[in-house]
Structure 1
Amino acid sequence: MTTTPEFLVVTTTHDGSEQARALAKKVVEARLAACAQVYPIQSVYWWDGEVQDSAEWRIDFKTRADLAERLGAFIGEHHIYDTPEIVGVPLATGSAAYLDWVRAETSER
């Protein structure tokens, strides 16, 4: 049995704090996410045939699952990376009041 999640956390990364916060603000202003959390991380990954080790800024967007495709396209359009990370993880549970807030803040006005 499978169920379709109603809510996701969609994650991307950026190479600078200011750029990450600017992208987070654009997404929230577009109502593609109710909120975004921006925080520093250290990433190790393959790029251009080499293992990279660099500081990045992670952005976690709280959103409705039905907005995932639009949110991914928006991130891709406004991102400086050639291949930005855009992954979504379904929320298995959450407080009813919080999820109601996410639903309300990502609805058309």
Structure 2
Amino acid sequence: MAASTIVPSIVVYVTVPNREAGKKLAESIINEKLAACVNIVPGIQSVYWWEGKVQSDSEELLIIKTRESLLNPLTEHVKANHEYEVPEVIALPINGGNDEYLEWIKNSTRDS
């Protein structure tokens, strides 16, 4: 597969409070073609600083694969459809991988 057909892609992490919230958010992201794939990783424990003290919560992690150009609309979608006051949206670049998979990400998402 020619590398010129691949668009810059990213992995985005979003934490959610439970499986139901994660599944609903993941399905809405896919339905809007804001990502090609969302993995839901159960059983994470988050320890973080919030409202002046250390907090600890059970959460689930969404691992979202998408085009770099869709980060802003994806972030706005998460903010509009997430129950957290300040939802986590962290993007990491995909620097390489299976060209066919990266092409699939492009073909499974909308243009920005």
TM-score (norm 2): 0.89
| Distance in 2 between residues matched to 1:62 and 1:101, nearest whole Å | 10
The residue correspondences of 1:66-85 to structure 2 (distance < 5 A) are: 66-85=69-88
Gaps of at least 5 residues in structure 2 are 1-6
AA of the residue aligned to 1:8: I
- CA deviation after TM superposition for structure 1 residue 107, in Å: 2.8
Query: Which residue identity lines up with residue 66 of structure 1 in the other structure?
Result: S
Q: Can you list the C-alpha shifts for 1:30-75, whole angstroms capped at 9, x where unaligned?
A: 0000010011211000111110111101001100000000000000
Equivalent residue for 1:45? Answer: 48
Matches within 5 A, 1:11-26: 11-26=13-28
Q: Distance in 1 between matches of 2:86 and 2:78?
A: 11
Across the aligned residues of Structure 1 and Structure 2, the Cα RMSD in angstroms comes to 1.1
Q: Which residue pairs with 2:67 in the alignment?
A: 64
TM-score by length of 1: 0.91
Where does the alignment leave 5 or more consecutive residues of structure 1 unmatched? Answer: none
- Percent identity over the alignment is 36
Count of aligned residue pairs for this structure pair: 104
Could you tell me which amino acid in structure 2 is paired with residue 10 of structure 1? V
Structure 1 stretches of 4+ with a deviation exceeding 3 A read none
2:11 counterpart SS class = strand
